[in-house]
Every structure is written in structure tokens, then in C-alpha cells.
A and B are shown apart, each in its own frame.
Chain A
Amino acid sequence: MTDARRPVVFIVDDDLGVRQMVARMVRSVGLMPRAFESVRDFLDQIDPARPGCVVLDVRLPGESGLDLQEHLARMNVRIPIIFITGHGDIPMSVRAMKAGAVDFLEKPFNDQALLDAIHAALARDADERQAESARTDARARFATLTPREREVLALVVAGLANKQIAVRLGTTGQTIKLHRGRVMSKMQADSVAELVVLAQRAGVLEPPA
């Protein structure tokens, strides 16, 4: 795995001791930490392409952890956030979870609880990024199809046989067979089932007419 694709655990806490301790804990399990003193510092340096998760103190001076959550949502950055707090503030944790936080831990927290939360968050981020890249991939392949091939694809994934497609499109089964072959190869699909999945990812699967 190249360094640029290695996930980062971003730590945002105004307390130096807590910041260093969490970074040390993260390093001890072989993960890469990056610590920030304030929401502003973090936002200035965030790279949305970088996989990772955020460990965030809810009560920060200046812009709070909840503010950061809103900023990220507005920037359309969907990085998972683990909140930590000095006092278990129920209304605030409810708000944070509703806004998409993956976990909410009370200080002092058990190291295993935090590390488990971090691992879960990183897995979620990786899944999310993988799904997104698969979607991008499928859309790119679909973009190489000609209009005729797109028509054929739509009818193939709707479950029609070559002959039926030929009748619909007013041509011969032989021609359709050729089109179908090109669709399969351009979409890099080995089976109709695979083609259906790719069409779904590309967002072009329409209900049959």
C-alpha cells in the first residue's frame, strides 16, 4: 500500500496531553495519527481524497466538534467521526450520532474501546471509498458504449433473449449478437449477472418497459 493511500487517524483536541496520548495509542497499533489543536487547523489541511477517520473532542474552544461535523457535511466529505467528551452529555451525543458520528466515547475511555471504534471507522471508510470507486469505474465503462449498445444493454439486463431484442430493435439476431459481444467486453462483464451489477453501479438500470 503506498503511503498516500494509507489511512490516517485525524485527532482534533485542544488538550495537548489527550492529543499526544491518542496519537501514541494509535501509533502503538501501527496506524498513522495526525493531530490538530483546533477545528480550523484541521479544516485548513484536510484532503478529502485521503482515507481515514476523525477522533474529535465535542467541546472545543472556538468552533466545536459539532461545528466540524456540519462543515464536513457541507463540503460533502463523508469521513467517519468518533466523538470523545469530558462529560457524557446525552443531548449532544444524540445530535452527533444523528449527524453521522460512528461512535461516542466518554473520557476517560478504555483504550480498547477507542481502538475498536477507530478500526470500525476505518473499515467503514474503506468500504465507502471502494463502493464509490466501483461506481466511478462502472460509469466510466458505460460511457464508452455507443447509443445502440446502450439500447442493447438495457434489453439484455431486462432479461430479453437476442431474438427478442432483434424484434424490438428491428434487426437480425446475428447483429444483436455482435452488439452484445461488444457490450460485454466494453463493460468487462463475464456474465449477464455481472452486467446487471455493473449497470446498477453505473446507475443506468431502468425497470423493464
Chain B
Amino acid sequence: MPPQRRANDAKREAEEQRRLLTSIIAHIPSGVFWKGSDFRYRGCNEAFARSAGVEPPEDIVGKTDYELAWEKEQADYFRACDRRVMEEDRALLNIEEVERQADGRQAVLLTSKVPLHDEQGQVCGVLGIDTDISGQKQVENELRQVRAELETRVRERTAELSSANQQLQCEIRDRVRAEEALKASEERYRLVSELTSDYAYSFVVEPGGTCQVEWLTDAFARISGHSPSEQESGAWDRIVHPDDLPVVDRRMRSLLDGRSAVNEFRIIAGDGQIRWLRDHARPVWSEAQRRVVRILGAAQDITDRKLAEEEARRHQAALAQVGRLTTVGEMAAQLAHELNQPLCTMVGNAQTAQRLLAAPTPDLAEVRDALNDIVTFGNQAATVIKRLREFLRQQQPQPVVLNVQRTIEEIAGFLEADARQHAARVLFDMADDLPVIRGDRVQLQQVLLNLVRNGLEAMDLRQGGPREIVVQASRSESGDVLIDVIDSGAGLDGETAERIFEPFFTTKPAGPGLGLAICRSIVEAHGGRLWAKANPGRGTTFSILLPAIGEDMAP
């Protein structure tokens, strides 16, 4: 082969290789680019130009990464990789990186960079190939998710199985426990029916409507003092308090009609004492016989509760009465003020009229006005007095025969509560042989309450010392009742001891000063006496003497 031809062949072959290379570069699905040692692009293929936002690819020549679509951090990174490749003269292969494309898409790229050499073997640039592996990455992620889901499901199923197993174990344990509990419950039931104040029963209802005891717990006999056989119908009527028979009859009718019943009624116990029962009964209906065939019930002894309620009611009534006393004092103070205004106006007008008439030529029109005002305000004062009279009429005493000890005991709770508020104590000292008296229970209680409150306030005025008030009830030498209220307060001098009973006299910074005047008038209305005396040591003794009524007058 002639050299010319060989040369031509070689040339053609080189040309073919170049075309092949160009075609490969143009068509492979990866981006291909090359840069000079000055980091400027010398060229790239179509795919790379697209991702770099350059069109056509030749336009990239001469540009640096900073002039392309990348963000600055990305360009910095490319520059660092390029420098490393060129300085170390070593390829960097398969760098995986997330890169924002010219179209804004985040792509995962696998990039390799290799150094380019000139004819002398010196590094003169860098060639890079990057492949978009986003799709591949996505598949990988999806696979990972599916695997994770599968694992979760397996774990859940395992947990379900394990919990089912546990539940089963629990149920087995519960069964055992329930059996034990049942045994304990039976034992408890036996104890309860033995020990409590309640009893339970079951009656069989016969077709005629009469009842027979089927069973009855022992507590019944203990509560009622009657044997169970007496609980049969008929006998029942003798046990129930006569006043409550209608209640019991209504209860029975209601039960036979198929309705439950809750009732409170009294029975007369074997010892003759009255006991309160709260009975809760339920009928058992037979569908076959179309009637009530059995009555189940339980009853509770509520005698103590009833007595306590009664006591509380009495207490409440007493409290309302005590409230009335403070109202008297306050009302009196209010009345005093209401009377003072018209009185002041009347006196002033009368004096002015006198003055006007003393003039050489009296202004009679002015005198007439003054007299008119006197009439007007005189009438106003009369209205106030009328109101007071009406009020007092509602407060008439209601005398009854009284046991002094019980009368005092009824308000002991109030007195103690008052004393606690003043950080003090009330002590009671009552003789056993007190005669009975005749009087208004509440009014006398009001007097005592007032005296004790006075004493407490007197002790507030004096610092230190014992804070005690003694309420002492005894039989006086004359055979009457003497009640002493002894405080350890500031005490009284002789003159004050008498004046304190005057209306509106007070040693206290606040208060109308009517309490003691009213107390004295109440005691005197009872035919008694009320006085005060300074104690030898400290404090004051208020004494109430109430006449005893003759033995023949006592009930």
C-alpha cells in the first residue's frame, strides 16, 4: 500500500473515529463537559447544556460555573472538585450529589471527573461526565419504603398476637380471681347481714295477695326486737306505728301493682321504743301467672339519722330566733337615726318661728312655712314610731314552763362558735337541782347570747390574760334561778356598771348600745332582775335572777 494511501486511510480512520466520538458524546444519556485549566468551559454535549441552561451547547465555551444555572454553593463545589482533580492529577469517580437543574428540578447526579493532559503530559483541563440517577434513586426509595412498611406490618401482627395471648392469660387469672372473689363475697355477705343495721327479705305473694316470709336476715330481729314469724302479714300491722299505716298500705299496693317502692316509716320495737326504717322493695313479676309473685327488699334502721335531723331542725329554728335579736338592735339604731332627722327639723323650725315672732314686724309667711314644716315632719316621725310599734307587736313573748339547763344547752353550740371567733372559750357550770321557770325560751336565750357576746368583746378590748367566759346556773338563796355570765375582760367601774343598761350607752367603738337595755327589759318582763358587777380580780359578772315557779305549777 502506497504511503499516500496509507496516510489517507489513517486520516479517514481518524475522521471516522472523531465522528463516532462526537456522536457518542452527543447521544449518550449523560452530560459531558470539559474545561481548561482556567476553569472555563471548552465544550459540552447537548444533555449537559440542557441541564446548565445553555442553548446551543457551543455557547458554553469560555463560561465558568458561576455564569451558569447553578447556585453559588454548587458552583463553589464544582470549582473545588475541578481544582482537586487538576492539582492531584487524579480522577474523582462517582460523586453522588443533589443538583438544581436549569429547569428548577432537583436531580440526583452521579458525576465523575478526570484530568486532561496536553502533549507534554501536563494537566491542562478536566473532563466530566454526569449521569442523572434521580429515577433510580426514586425506585430505591420506594423499595426502601415498601420494605419498611412490610416490617411494620409484621411487627404489628406480632404485637397483636402477643396482646391476644396476654389477654387470654388475664382472662384465665380473672376467672380464678372471680372464683376467689365469689367465695369472699359470700363470706362478706354473711358478715354484713350479721353486723349491719340493715336487713333484707323476700316475701312470697300468694294468689289472694297475702304474703309469706320466704327468708329474712337476722338483723331484722335485732332492729325490731320481734321474731321473724311476727313479720307475717297481719302481725306487721301491729308492728308499724299506727300513724304510718297508710304509708305502709300505699307501699304494698304499689308493689302488687308491679312498681318498686322506697318508704320511710316508724315501727314500734319489741321494747316499746319507736324506730325509723327506710324500706326499699322491688316486686318480681311472673309472666306465666300474670301477677307479682314475690317481693324482694331491704330496710335500714335510720332512727339515729331521723333524730339528728330533728335536732338540726330545732337548732335551725333557734338560729332564726337568735337572728331576730340582732335585728331588734339594728332596727332600733336605724329608728333612732330616722327619728333624729325630723326631730332636728322640728326643733329648728320651732325655734326659728319663735325668733321670727320676736321681731318688731314678724315675717308671718316665713312663720307659717316653719309651722307647716313642723307638722309635716312631726307626722313623719309619727310614722316611724308606728312602724316600730308594729314591729314590736310581732315580738310578743310566749311564756312556757322552761327547764333552764336545757334552755342554755340548746344555744351552747352558738356560744362556743362565737367564742372561737374571739379566740376564747366558754365554760358551762350548771347545778343539777335547778327549779323550772316560766318564760319565753328564745328571748331568754337571746339575753344570754347578748351577754356572752358582750363579754367576748370586752375581752377583745383587754390584751392578755385568760380568754374564758363562764356561764354558771345555780339555785339562788331565795330558791330562784341565778345565771351568772363571768368574763375576764376589761371590767367596769361602779358608775359604768349602772349606766351600761341605759339605751344608747356604749363603751364600744361601734354598735348602737341597745343590747343591754333590751336584755334588762326582757329579764324584767319575766319578773326577774339583770345586773352587772366588777369581779374582784378582773372582768365583769352579769347576773340574771329569774323567779322559780311553784312546784304545784310545774307540769
Contacts and interface: CB of A to CB of B under 8 A. Distances in A.
Contacts of B356: 28
Contacts of B351: 25, 110-112
Contact of B369 (A24, A86, A87, A108): A24
B355 A29 contact: yes
Contact of A111 (B341, B342, B355, B369): B355
A21 B341 contact: no
A15 B345 CA distance: 9
A87 B370 CA distance: 24
A86 B349 contact: no
Interface residues of B, number: 22
Contacts, number: 65
A22 B366 contact: no
Interface in A149-196: none
Contact of A108 (B343, B363, B366): B343
Contacts of B355: 25, 28-29, 111
A29 B352 CA distance: 9
A17 B345 contact: yes
B370 A107 contact: no
Q: What does DSSP make chain B's interface, helix, strand, loop or mixed?
A: helix
Contact of A20 (B337, B343, B347, B373): B373
A57 to B, nearest CB: 10
Nearest to B376: A17
B71 to A, nearest CB: 74
Given A17-B342, A86-B340, A108-B340, A25 B377 contact: no
Contacts of B366: 24, 27-28
Interface residues of A, number: 20
A27 B367 CA distance: 12
Contact of B352 (A15, A28, A109): A28
Given A24-B366, A24-B369, A24-B370, A18 B352 contact: no
Nearest to A85: B340
Contacts of B343: 107-108
Given A28-B355, A108-B343, A86 B337 contact: yes
A108 B344 contact: yes
Given A17-B373, A27-B366, A28-B356, A111 B348 contact: yes
B337 A18 contact: no
Contacts of A109: 344, 348
A111 B346 CA distance: 11
A113 to B, nearest CB: 10
Contacts of A18: 341, 344-345, 348
A26 B377 CA distance: 20
Nearest to A25: B352
Interface string B152-188: 0000000000000000000000000000000000000
Nearest to B338: A86
Nearest to B369: A24
Contacts of A24: 348-349, 352, 366, 369-370
Interface in A25-82: 25, 27-29
A18 B380 CA distance: 13
Contacts of A86: 337, 340-341, 344
Given A21-B373, A28-B366, 20 more contacts: A15-B345, A17-B341, A17-B376, A18-B341, A18-B344, A21-B344, A21-B349, A21-B370, A24-B369, A25-B348, A27-B366, A28-B352, A28-B355, A29-B355, A86-B341, A107-B341, A109-B344, A111-B347, A111-B351, A111-B352
Closest CB pairs A-B (n = 3): A17-B345, A108-B344, A111-B351
18 contacts: A17-B341, A18-B345, A20-B373, A21-B348, A21-B349, A22-B348, A24-B352, A25-B351, A25-B355, A28-B356, A86-B341, A107-B340, A107-B341, A107-B343, A108-B340, A108-B343, A108-B347, A111-B355
